[in-house]
Amino acid sequence: MDGFTFSVPIRVRFADTDAQGIAHNSAFLVWFEVARVEYLREFAGGYQALRDHGVEAIVLESFCRYRLPVRFDDELVVHTRCDGLRGARFRYEYAIVRGDETVADGRTEHACVDAVTLRPTRVPGWLADAIREAESA
Amino acid sequence: MDGFTFSVPIRVRFADTDAQGIAHNSAFLVWFEVARVEYLREFAGGYQALRDHGVEAIVLESFCRYRLPVRFDDELVVHTRCDGLRGARFRYEYAIVRGDETVADGRTEHACVDAVTLRPTRVPGWLADAIREAESA
Amino acid sequence: MDGFTFSVPIRVRFADTDAQGIAHNSAFLVWFEVARVEYLREFAGGYQALRDHGVEAIVLESFCRYRLPVRFDDELVVHTRCDGLRGARFRYEYAIVRGDETVADGRTEHACVDAVTLRPTRVPGWLADAIREAESA
Amino acid sequence: MDGFTFSVPIRVRFADTDAQGIAHNSAFLVWFEVARVEYLREFAGGYQALRDHGVEAIVLESFCRYRLPVRFDDELVVHTRCDGLRGARFRYEYAIVRGDETVADGRTEHACVDAVTLRPTRVPGWLADAIREAESA
């Protein structure tokens, strides 16, 4: 999808739905996270590589726009890209599509933190390099 | 809390936490929802009253800023207000506090829809009146 | 895996974990459900086929034995089989493995119910036939 | 409720429901957990007291029987008792009621483990004493 560097398929689980018969608004944040985890696996050795360096990436902000209802068993694709790297911070943007419809889009803001103190720490050089390389490809 | 009309207490459940030892980012959207449901119970006969009129309120957008990590068993208070009523749409704003710290804030945008077709429908007059009365009190 | 007719891969999501650093006990029930849904897709036209006939399958009982801790990003395989078809009822059994270790096993008991009244209704003949054929293969 | 020593109220959240219009089967395990946490707060200084001693309680088994459908906004009471203390292990039993109906019952089996190694460790004496006192009252 134009403007995105990576994508991951998601099948809507029955547990994701609510009594309105559609996927619950909180499920989309979990799908965003799945896309981030797979992105890091693809381009940067996986999220565990970060943790192995004593670093965690926390979520500072989440935003999601729900454009169309999503239902049980729908096959979705979560497109994502990472940008806005600066100091401890970075951002992911997302578009979730079903066939040729965009059902949701959004973004999450993140900071790297020390795994023990949870205080902000600069994005490790190897990770910043891996993200820049992925995004400029 | 200044600028908010209603609040509801939340205790962080173990199931809300993740392997970072803090509440997962998606849990905050569930807490926002609990606050909306209790707000409607307090001021407008409950969410079920809406459904009994063949109306559902869907979520169009969610935004959450995570300011401080929240941990298992923390006692939080979710403050909320409703505004931005116009046609089918309305908005909730939130601040989640722990003692005298604001740990998160955010907003959700909503539309009333027909429960069967999921098409937008004007916020029922009785509900708009109830919200306006609550917010002007 | 010996004694099972079907399997589905699951990757442990970050949202599945809790502050003990392992997957939360409730996540396993969601994985069981994913396996049931994929089983019905493989052998019986999908869960939606049931719903299209005005039938829902509800859960009467769940049992899970957690044998080994499961962690973020673990690659699991959920093995399942369906048996115990009688009247409105049927049963799924499960073993969740990671490599050559069984990390959990369990079972769920189900009943077909009328989608509107939620009252028990005989498992439809076409579904019973599809399950029997799958399990005798 | 006869045979139970403790209870906690639960309100069914919208996020707990699924597209069948009823609470999802995995939500009941979360409610069981809420009851355990509150039980330990009431009788034994809270779950955090355990963690402060370097001990975690893990779940070895869960069983739930879903007797009646539970819906959004239902007011439930989770009754619980703890028994079967032996070595590292103990058991909770539960009945979830709505008014005078039992909507679900179940049990969970647990073991105390060292928080670092996750290896079984005897239930601390102070905790065993607190549970025995609560249950014999």
ipTM of the complex, rounded to two decimals: 0.96
Domains of chain A plus CATH, in order, are 6-136 (3.10.129.10)
Q: Counting one residue from B and one from D, how many pairs have CB atoms under 8 Å apart?
A: 30
Select the more confidently predicted residue: C116 or A65. Answer: A65
pLDDT of A1 strictly over 90: no
Phi and psi at C120, nearest 5°, equal -55, 140
- Chain D interface, best mutation among B8, B14, B110, by max D CB count within 10 A: B14
Cα–Cα nearest to A84, from A128, A31, A124: A128
pTM of this structure = 0.97
Mark whether B83 is an active-site residue. no
Residues B41-81: tens digit of each pLDDT: 999 989 988 988 999 999 999 999 999 999 999 999 999 99
- What is the predicted pLDDT for the residue at C116? 86
Residue of A2, A16, A18, A105 with catalytic role: A18
Asked if residue C124 lies in contact with residue C112, where contact means CB atoms within 8 angstroms, the answer is: yes
Q: Measured between alpha carbons, how far is C13 from D92 in angstroms, rounded to an integer?
A: 28
pLDDT 10s digit of each residue in chain D, 137 long?
889 999 999 999 999 999 999 999 999 999 999 999 999 999 999 998 898 899 999 999 999 999 999 999 999 999 999 999 999 999 999 999 999 999 999 999 999 999 888 899 999 999 999 999 999 97
Which residues, numbered 70 to 99 in chain C, qualify as contacts with chain D under a Cβ-Cβ cut-off of 8 Å?
none
At A105, the amino acid letter reads: D
> Which whole number is the average pLDDT over B88-103?
98
Chain B adjacent subunits, 3+ CB pairs under 8 A: A, C, D
Report CB contact under 8 Å: A26, D18. no
Q: Measured between alpha carbons, how far is D63 from C69 in angstroms, rounded to an integer?
A: 18
Q: Measured between alpha carbons, how far is D134 from D137 in angstroms, rounded to an integer?
A: 5
Chain D residues lying within 8 Å of A19, measured CB to CB: 14, 17-19, 21-22, 71-72
Structure tokens at A44: 């940067």
- What is the predicted pLDDT for the residue at D125? 94
- Chain A interface, best mutation among D18, D24, D28, D73, by max A CB count within 10 A: D18
* Nearest residue, CB atoms, A15 vs list C30, C48, C72: C30
> Which whole number is the average pLDDT over C56-71?
97
D49 touches chain B (CB under 8 A): no
Chain D residues lying within 8 Å of C29, measured CB to CB: 25-26, 29
User: Which of helix, strand or coil describes residue C21?
Assistant: coil
Asked if residue C64 lies in contact with residue C76, where contact means CB atoms within 8 angstroms, the answer is: no
Residue count of chain A, please give it: 137
Q: Measured between alpha carbons, how far is A128 from A87 in angstroms, rounded to an integer?
A: 10
Report CB contact under 8 Å: A47, C13. no
Residues A99-136: tens digit of each pLDDT: 999 999 999 999 999 988 889 999 999 999 999 999 99
Q: If you measure CA to CA, which chain A residue comes closest to C51?
A: A72
* C-alpha distances out from residue D10 to A77, B40, B44, B45, Å: 36, 18, 22, 20
- Those residues whose C-beta lies under 8 Å from the C-beta of residue B87, and which sit 6 or more positions away, are B120, B122, B123
Chain B residues lying within 8 Å of D45, measured CB to CB: none
B61 touches chain D (CB under 8 A): no
pLDDT of C1 strictly over 90: no
pLDDT of C137 strictly over 90: no
Asked if residue D12 lies in contact with residue D85, where contact means CB atoms within 8 angstroms, the answer is: no
Report CB contact under 8 Å: B18, C22. no
D21 touches chain A (CB under 8 A): yes
Q: Which helix (H) or strand (E) holds B80?
A: strand B75-86
A17 touches chain D (CB under 8 A): yes
Q: Measured between alpha carbons, how far is B71 from B68 in angstroms, rounded to an integer?
A: 10
> Which whole number is the average pLDDT over C9-21?
97
Query: A90 vs chain C: nearest CA distance in angstroms?
Result: 19
Q: Measured between alpha carbons, how far is B131 from B45 in angstroms, rounded to an integer?
A: 11
* Nearest residue, CB atoms, C26 vs list D30, D65, D66: D30
Query: B117 vs chain C: nearest CA distance in angstroms?
Result: 18
Report CB contact under 8 Å: D66, C59. yes
DSSP per-residue codes, A19-70: TTSSB-TTHHHHHHHHHHHHHHHHHHS-HHHHHHTTEEEEEEEEEEEE-S--
Query: B137 vs chain A: nearest CA distance in angstroms?
Result: 30
pLDDT of A22 strictly over 90: yes
Residue of C2, C16, C18, C100 with catalytic role: C18
User: Which of helix, strand or coil describes residue D125?
Assistant: helix
Query: B33 vs chain A: nearest CA distance in angstroms?
Result: 10
Chain A residues lying within 8 Å of D17, measured CB to CB: 18-19
Residue of D18, D52, D114, D129 with catalytic role: D18
Asked if residue A83 lies in contact with residue A135, where contact means CB atoms within 8 angstroms, the answer is: yes
- Chain A interface, best mutation among D12, D13, D17, by max A CB count within 10 A: D17
Radius of gyration of chain B (CA): 15
Chain D residues lying within 8 Å of B37, measured CB to CB: 13-14, 73
Asked if residue C38 lies in contact with residue A53, where contact means CB atoms within 8 angstroms, the answer is: no
Chain A adjacent subunits, 3+ CB pairs under 8 A: B, C, D
Enumerate the β-bridge partners of residue A105: A65, A95
